[in-house]
Structure 1
Amino acid sequence: MSAYGFAHLRSRRHHPDILEYLERIQATLDPFDGHFLIHGAPAEVLEGEWPGSMVLIEFPDLQAARAWYASPAYQAILRLRSDHIEGDLVLIEGVGPAYDPRARAAKLRAQAEAAG
């Protein structure tokens, strides 16, 4: 099951460290088959507020995503970003191509009825 590293970058400064981070990050992703799906493109906000930008990196699975983040190569460049950009980063497992939100709703409905 694919997994994703999702970052919400609320503030950013174009510091020389950020440029170095960008120059080096792909080499940290390659051993874990990670690749960018979204990287800072402007968001069209339809509901609520979304200050900043987003980054989405896909990995083959959650184990690969965790291993990338913990890797010495990524840890060596992490501060280049985190010292200059305020934001949040989460790792999350995706859903497969057969995912059906109706089945999820049925499961949640059954749990709610059983509880109460």
Structure 2
Amino acid sequence: MAKAYWISAYRKIKDADKLAAYAKLAGPAITAGGGTFLARGMPAKTYEAGLAERTVLIEFPSVEAAVATHDSPAYKEALDALGDGAERDMRIVEGAE
């Protein structure tokens, strides 16, 4: 079974306090679902049409584990805390293994 990668790009952070509340809840929800944070923060360098925006990369054992984590009650609580505090582009991609 191929690993999966959850990729979030923060297009705009509107409320840092809401983002902090989200992060406090999201981290434990994601790790409980089998996620491992591989990278998070601003890009060191962008190329081509790349945007300088906060990006988070999380590895999961499978697409199913990533989707189940996203759809879990614990992660929903984190999303509720975030509310309209940020505009994000989030996707789950299957690994190339």
1:29 corresponds to which residue? 30
> 1:12 deviation in Å?
1.0
- Scaled by the length of structure 1, the TM-score of the pair is 0.74
| Alignment check: 8 A CA contact 2:39 2:57 kept | yes
**Distance (Å, rounded) in 1 between the aligned partners of 2:83 and 2:74:** 15
Regions of 4+ moved over 2 Å? 79-82
Provide closer, same or farther for how the CA distance between residues 81 and 40 of structure 1 changes in structure 2, counting only shifts above 3 A. farther
> 1:27 deviation in Å?
1.4
Aligned length: 96
| Amino acid corresponding to residue 10 of structure 2 in structure 1 | L
Q: Which has the higher helix share?
A: 1
Deviations 1:54-94 (CA, angstroms, capped at 9, x unpaired) = 11111000000000000000011113335111121011101
Q: Which protein, 1 or 2, shows the higher relative CO under an 8 Å CA cutoff with sep ≥ 6?
A: 2
**Distance (Å, rounded) in 1 between the aligned partners of 2:88 and 2:44:** 16
1:4 corresponds to which residue? 5
Work out which of the two has the higher radius of gyration on C-alpha atoms and give 1 or 2.
1
Q: Which has the higher strand share?
A: 2
- Scaled by the length of structure 2, the TM-score of the pair is 0.86
Q: Percent identity?
A: 31
RMSD in angstroms over aligned alpha carbons?
1.6
> 1:43 deviation in Å?
3.7
2:62 corresponds to which residue? 61
SS at match of 2:45: coil
- Is the counterpart of residue 17 in structure 1 residue 15 in structure 2? no
| Alignment check: 8 A CA contact 2:4 2:94 kept | yes
Structure 2 unmatched ranges of 5 or more: none
